[in-house]
Amino acid sequence: MRERLSGIGACVFDAYGTLLDVRSATGRLAAELGGKAELVGGLWRTKQLEYTWLLSLMGHRRDFWQVTRDALDHAFGVAGLDDDALKEKLMRRYLSLDAYPDVAPVLAELRSRGLTTAILSNGTPDMLASGVESAGIAGYLDAVLSVEEVGVYKPHRSVYQLACDRFGLDRGQICFVSSNGWDVAGAASFGFQTVWLNRFDAERERLPGTPALVLGGLADLSGSIDRG
């Protein structure tokens, strides 16, 4: 594992769980969930990701908004909750997730150094537009890229190719940052210089493609990158 990344032209970030706190949706409505916020939040996120992988493998198309709703339906079923109004509140809350406190300052610093910044996400364009605007980070991003352009979810290689095509950069010139170990593995296997943002001290994934850097927060990211 290296201490610095060199030759970087763009820093590309995953959105959900990396820049935007997916736990903030259930956290804001914890009282209405009657003590089941942690259970629902965990299941919701787990099934959301599982469904993207399975749909990709099965060759089925459902956008991330529908996948997110399906995963929430499953989580409510497991938790024994039957409240359509509360589900609608949670879905609306997913459009305005909180950004982690370190996000805006680091994006601003990267931009001040002349680095291109972008999001590359499973989210639909509408979800991402709402999320970055609500989080107050839209002005710090040069682009917001959605898997909807290729019709398959991460970690398919065509998703990561979107960033190369958009910015006219080789794979090795892109720093890709994600809090999801499986996403980092996919991006590293594709050829990006990857940073695993391990905010919660998670166990590493046993997959091909290892991160070049592991950080506990974004504060040290800019100082770990040398421009190309």
- Give CATH 1.10.150.240 domain extents, the chain: 23-94
CB 187 within 8 A of CB 176: yes
pLDDT reported for residue 3 = 77
Candidates 14, 21, 82, 226; catalytic one: 14
pLDDT reported for residue 122 = 98
* This prediction's pTM: 0.96
Length of the chain measured in residues = 228
23-94 CATH fold: DNA polymerase; domain 1 (1.10.150)
Measured CA to CA, the distance from residue 73 to residue 143 in angstroms comes to: 32
- Give CATH 3.40.50.1000 domain extents, the chain: 5-21+97-227
CATH of domain 5-21+97-227: 3.40.50.1000
**Residue 14 is among the residues annotated as catalytic for this protein:** yes
Burial of residue 165, with CB atoms counted within 10 A of its CB: 0-12 exposed, 13-18 middle, 19 or more buried: exposed
pLDDT of 2 higher than 70: no
Model pLDDT for residues 118-165, shown as the tens digit of each residue: 999 999 999 999 999 999 999 999 999 999 999 999 999 999 999 999
The DSSP call for residue 208 is S
